[in-house]
Amino acid sequence: MRFLRLIFVVLLAVILIAVALANRETVTLSAFPANFGQFLGGRWAVDLPLFLVIFLAFALGMIAGLVWEWLRESQIRREAKAQASRAAKLESEVGHLRSRHAAPKDEVLAILDSPRAGRQPTLPAASAEPAAGTTLPART
């Protein structure tokens, strides 16, 4: 499994390096559409290599998806935590009831529960003669 993971990481690294080498041109990344940023004051644009813009967009998308799923599953985690605490409480109560209400075993049940020492089940002995009533009458 480690070997497959290593192959995957190396293959991913080669692909990312190839994308970075193929997209080295500088592009201008603007926060607002054409000249709208000048009304707010300052320069709302940055010059970056294209591969960096691609990698940053991918990383921000992954982070946004992670946060979205974490928020979506928070109710499920909360319910699981409540159920786990309820199960622990019930197990504790069952253990307490078992220790509090442990009655001595009944003698008859103790005999039935104990293994039969030295007693083998008795089977009828095999004989060469068929049992009575199990054969057809002889022909005459």
What are the average pLDDT values for consecutive 10-residue runs of the chain, which has 140 residues? Answer: 93 91 90 76 85 93 96 95 96 85 65 62 64 67
**pLDDT at res. 117:** 55
Cβ-in-10-Å burial (0-12, 13-18, 19+) of 16 comes to middle
**pLDDT at res. 42:** 73
Tokens for 1?
Answer: 């499994």
**Cβ(25)–Cβ(49) below 8 Å:** yes
Q: Residue 58 and residue 53: Cα distance in Å, rounded?
A: 9
pTM value > 0.85: no
Secondary structure element (H or E) that encloses residue 9, with its range: helix 2-22
**pLDDT at res. 62:** 96
